[in-house]
Amino acid sequence: MATEARIRELDARHHQLDARIEDIMKSPSSDTLQIASLKKQKLKLKEEIERLRSQ
């Protein structure tokens, strides 16, 4: 049960990062380093979600 709650939490954070990345990319002066950093965070969350689901 705790694992599923953790997965939901990570999934919510993943979606928040996705929305934030989209918002930043809409700006004409978007910061590519910030976008890259957020994408790395998003990937780590996805990997953690997959790891938890495979257990």
Q: Where are the domains of the chain?
A: 2-54
Contact indicator for 40, 14 with CB cutoff of 8 Å:
no
Q: Indicate if the pLDDT at residue 1 is higher than 70.
A: no
Quick one: tokens of 16? Answer: 């928040």
Contact indicator for 13, 41 with CB cutoff of 8 Å:
no
- pTM for this entry: 0.86
What is the tens place of the pLDDT at every residue in 9-39?
999 999 999 999 999 999 888 899 999 999 9
